[in-house]
């Protein structure tokens, strides 16, 4: 038969196990029903050029609990969005509010190079109760490469639209559209592009004109405007430079102390 001591220990263990299971159920239920407001980026780049303005489309998604009932974010009475950044930026508008829509547009211009983030802070309210959440969106800003060319309408007829495309190593990177070009009219356009992600070595940049209808989604290389090569240098890691400097300083210190010890030994009387 089980003695009293063993019986007490067994009962205690069962009680602890039951409490743990009950707590786990409560935590799971709470986690399942906890508010999940999410200001997510529907549209907007994570790589930007310095001083170039980009537009971000933000949707306040998810759900929250109001008066004990689950409410979808798009069913709130009103919404507001605040946008911040740890980089030097111009953000318009910094704060905005709506009683009609949970979707907002924000324009962002970054004025410095570097890695940083945009912080979108969202609020929803329902029946006087306010709920809050935020989302950190990582971005990288860099100074662009710039290529300018003059484009001419080579015909004696009016061209309603002409598309001009910039290619790197045969891959279309960006396009611009010129409208209402008269016979033999010339215009200058400037492309901005990035070397980010391009392997070290020699590469080719080309600019082509497409005179076909803009309704055609595919870009047709009909007339080459410019072709040249450019070089991408291999970047040496700052850590390598730092390691070389430390090694040189360490070697210099060893030589210095070794030299001092030899001098002291020579001065020692015999």
The string of pLDDT tens digits covering residues 153-190 is: 888 888 888 899 999 999 999 999 999 999 989 999 99
User: Residue 243: its pLDDT value, please?
Assistant: 55
The string of pLDDT tens digits covering residues 52-106 is: 999 999 999 998 888 888 889 999 999 999 999 999 999 999 999 999 999 999 9
CATH code of the domain in which 193 resides: 2.60.40.10
CATH code of the domain in which 99 resides: 2.60.40.680
The verdict on 173 and 133 lying in the same domain is no
The verdict on 127 and 38 lying in the same domain is yes
The verdict on 70 and 134 lying in the same domain is yes
CA distance linking residue 14 with residue 36, whole number of Å: 35
The verdict on 133 and 44 lying in the same domain is yes
Compute φ and ψ for 51, nearest 5 degrees.
65, 15
What confidence tier does 9 reach under pLDDT thresholds 50, 70, 90?
very low
Say if CB 207 and CB 226 are below 8 A apart: yes
Q: Is residue 221 part of a domain?
A: yes
Measured CA to CA in angstroms, residue 217 lies from 15, 43, 70, 212, 220 at distances of: 69, 21, 44, 10, 9
What does the longest C-alpha to C-alpha distance in the chain come to?
Answer: 111
Number of folded domains that form the chain: 2
User: Residue 239: its pLDDT value, please?
Assistant: 46
């Amino acid at each position: 038969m089980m003695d009293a001591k063993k019986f007490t220990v067994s009962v205690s263990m069962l009680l602890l196990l039951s409490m743990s299971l009950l707590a786990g159920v409560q935590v799971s239920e709470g986690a399942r029903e906890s508010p999940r407001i999410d200001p997510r980026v529907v549209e907007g780049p994570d790589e930007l050029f310095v001083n170039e303005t980009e537009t971000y489309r933000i949707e306040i998604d998810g759900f929250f609990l109001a008066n004990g009932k689950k409410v979808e974010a798009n069913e709130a009475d009103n919404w507001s969005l605040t946008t911040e950044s740890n980089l030097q930026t111009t953000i318009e508008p910094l704060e905005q509010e709506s009683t009609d829509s949970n979707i907002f547009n924000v324009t962002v211009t970054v004025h410095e190079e570097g890695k940083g983030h945009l912080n979108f802070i969202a609020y929803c309210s329902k029946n006087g109760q306010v709920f809050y959440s935020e989302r950190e969106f990582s971005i990288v800003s860099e100074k662009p490469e710039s290529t300018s060319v003059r484009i001419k309408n080579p015909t004696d007829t009016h061209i309603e639209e002409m598309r001009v495309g910039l290619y790197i190593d045969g891959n279309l990177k960006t396009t611009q559209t010129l409208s209402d070009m008269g016979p033999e009219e010339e215009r200058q356009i400037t492309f901005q592009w990035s070397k980010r992600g391009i392997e070290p070595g020699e590469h080719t940049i080309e600019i082509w004109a497409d005179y076909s209808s803009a309704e055609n989604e595919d870009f047709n290389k009909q007339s080459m405007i410019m072709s040249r090569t450019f070089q991408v240098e291999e970047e040496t890691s700052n850590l390598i430079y730092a390691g070389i400097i430390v090694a040189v300083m360490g070697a210099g210190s060893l030589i210095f102390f070794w030299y001092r010890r030899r001098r002291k030994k020579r001065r020692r009387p015999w």
